[in-house]
Amino acid sequence: MVEHEVTSWMDRISIAISRVTMYIVAFIVAIIFYEVVMRYIFEKPTLWVNEMSLWVAGAVYLLAGLYVMQQRAHIRIFMLYDVVSRTWQRIFDVISTLCICIFAAAVVWGGFNEAWVKLMRWEAFGTAWDPPIPATMKPLVLITVVLIALQAVMNLISDWHKDKETHEIVEDITPELSDEILHSDSVGLDSNSTR
């Protein structure tokens, strides 16, 4: 995979967080493997693996959004975006960035008190192992949404002077597969034209 270029301080933060998050996924796989071995080979299941994997996977899910924003891999309606002029593309970019920032502000405004209370009480999950999932995940939601909004603003600033963007469906596929698809399409066209 070819990553988007790093153009700002926020890009560096997003990439650093995503690199740590990659290893967290390996950690989840390792502890689930440990649970399977303990449960089915030694018949001594753990209390903590299921909740730990849910806890950590929730953090991975949240932080993945930051990486997606930095890579400009979020959903766009390219059918409309590609046919308009660069001026209109910029207008669309401003509108989408404003929507992201308004959403982030609303989430922080609506969730701050609850996240603060859960963090200060160090609220636990209420199970046998009882990890502090609510106390950590609620604030992480707010932190992540703010980081995503900052990344969206930095993307807008970084991309402002770029040329008009157009996209092909094949661009979203790996280079090896896109070559195969293009080659098979041209072969298919040739065979159809001889019929």
Report pLDDT digits (tens) over 129-175.
999 999 999 999 999 999 999 999 999 999 998 888 776 665 555 55
Q: What is the pLDDT of residues 59-70, one digit of tens each?
A: 999 999 999 999
Give the pLDDT band of residue 83 (cuts 50, 70, 90).
confident
Task: Give the residue with greater pLDDT, 67 vs 189.
Answer: 67
Quick one: what percent of the chain has pLDDT higher than 70?
A: 84
177 vs 195: which has the higher pLDDT: 177
The mean-pLDDT minimum among 147-151, 176-180, 185-189 falls in 185-189
Amino acid at 32: I
pLDDT band for position 24 (cuts 50, 70, 90): very high
Half-sphere exposure of 134 (CA within 13 A, CB side): 15
pLDDT of residue 179: 60
> Half-sphere exposure of 40 toward its Cβ, with a 13 Å CA cutoff?
6
Q: What is the dihedral of CA 167, 82, 188, 172, to 10 degrees?
A: 20
Q: How far is residue 42's CA from residue 22's CA, in Å, rounded to a whole number?
A: 30
Helix or strand (DSSP H, E) at 80: helix 78-81
